[in-house]
Amino acid sequence: MLKLVLKRLIDLIPTLFVVAITVFIITRLIPGDPAAVMLGPQASVEDINALREKLGLNEPLYLQFIHYIGDLLTGNLGFSPNYNQSVTSLILERFPSTLMLAGSALLISLLIGIPAGIISATKPNSFWDYIVMILSLVGVSIPIFWLGVMLVLYFSVNLGWLPATGMGSMDQGLGDVIKHLVLPSVALSTIPMATFARITRSSMLEVIKQDYIKTARAKGLLEFWVIWKHALKNALTPILTVLGMQISMLLGGAVLTETIFSWPGMGRLVVDAIESRDFMVVQGTVLFIAVIFVVVNLLVDIMYAVVNPRVNLSNKGRS
C-alpha cells in the first residue's frame, strides 16, 4: 500500500509538468495583449507597458517559462493583477464553494443513482427497469446549460420557490444557503446520477448470476440482505472506478453550472479569468484541478483494497 502511494506521488510530478507546459503554451497562443485586456480600453500605453513588465511579458517565451517553472517549484502560482492578490489565495477562497456544490451533487447522484440501478438489476426487463434506463439515457443526454436554464425559469421565475443565482449567506441562516444550493446541485447531478444507475445495473446483473448469490438465497437469507450485503459489495469495484472519475469531473468541470447560477466557485473563476486574459489564474487553477484528478485516483485505488482485499494494487499501479 505504501509503495503504491509513493509511486503515485512520484507519478504526479511528470503529469503536472506536462499540464504546466500545455497550459503555458495555450495561454500564450491566445491572440491579443493580456496587459491591454486586463487594463481595459482606457489604459494608457505607459500603464500597459508597466503591467507587461510586471508580468514578465516583455521577456522571451523561454525565459517566461523558466521563471514560471521556478515559481511552481517554490509553490508560487503567481499573482493576479485583476484581483490584486495571489492565485493561491484566490483558489483557496473559491475551492470550498466548488467543493460544497460538487459534494451536494455527488450525494444526490449516489442516493438516487445506485438504488435505481439496483432496482433495475433485480427486476430486469420489467416496467421499472425500462423506466430507469430511459431516465438514465435522458440524464446523460441533457445539456447541463439547458437544464440549468429550464430549472431557473420554472422554479425561480415561474414558481418563485427557489433563488436563481448566488450562493446565499450563512448570516441569513443555513436554510438560505441550502435554498441557493438546490438548483445548481440538481443540474450538476444529472449526468453522474444517470452514470451511476447504468454502471450499478450492469455490475449487479453480472454479480447476481454468480453461484454464491444462488447459495445465499438457497440458505434462506432475506432478499434484502442477499442484494445489499453480498451482491452490492462485490459489485462495487466498477462503481468505485466511476466514482473517482465523477468526483474529478464534478470538482473540475462545474464551469457551466457555476456560470449559469453565478456560483462563486473555481469554475466561475476560470471563466472570468479567461475573459479578462488573466492567464496566471488560468494556469494556477488548471494545475490545481490536475492535482485533484491525481489525488482522487489515488484514493480510489486505496478504496479498491478496502472493498476487495484480493485486488493487487501493485500490479494495478503498473498497468
Q: What's the pLDDT score for residue 34? A: 73
Task: Name 312's Cβ contacts closer than 8 Å, sequence gap at least 6.
Answer: none
What integer is the mean pLDDT of 133-152? 88
On the question of pLDDT at 227 being above 70, the answer is yes
Cβ contact 224:233 at 8 Å: no
Binned at pLDDT 50, 70 and 90, residue 307 comes out as: low
- Identity at 261, one-letter amino acid code: F
Q: Using the 8-state DSSP alphabet, how is residue 312 labeled?
A: -
55: its cell numbers: 508580468
Q: Of the ranges 17-26, 38-47, 157-166, which one carries the lowest mean pLDDT score?
A: 38-47
Residue carrying the nine cell digits 509511486: 7
pLDDT score, position 318:
42
* Residues listed for the chain: 319
Residue type, 22: T
User: Coil, strand, or helix at residue 80?
Assistant: strand
Domains, the chain, in order of start with CATH, read 24-87 (no CATH), 89-275 (1.10.3720.10)
What does DSSP assign to residue 171? Answer: G
pLDDT for 93 beyond 60: yes
DSSP-derived secondary structure letter, 228: I
Please report which confidence band the pLDDT of residue 60 belongs to, taking 50, 70 and 90 as the band edges.
confident
Judged against a pLDDT cut of 70, whether residue 160 lies above it is answered with yes
For residues 274 and 6, give the distance between their C-alpha atoms in angstroms, rounded to a whole number.
Answer: 35
What's residue 42's pLDDT? 75
**What's the N-to-C CA distance of the chain in angstroms?**
16
**Which triple of cell numbers denotes residue 97?**
464553494
- What is the C-alpha separation between 92 and 94, in angstroms, rounded? 6
**What is the number of other CB atoms lying within 10 angstroms of the CB of residue 3?**
10
- Please give the average per-residue pLDDT across 155-175, as a whole number: 82
- Backbone angles phi and psi of 79, in degrees to 5: -130, 135
pTM: 0.79
Of 214-218, 250-254, 259-263, 294-298, minimum mean pLDDT range: 250-254
Nine-digit cell string for 162: 427557489
Residue among 42, 201, 230 at smallest CA distance from 133: 201
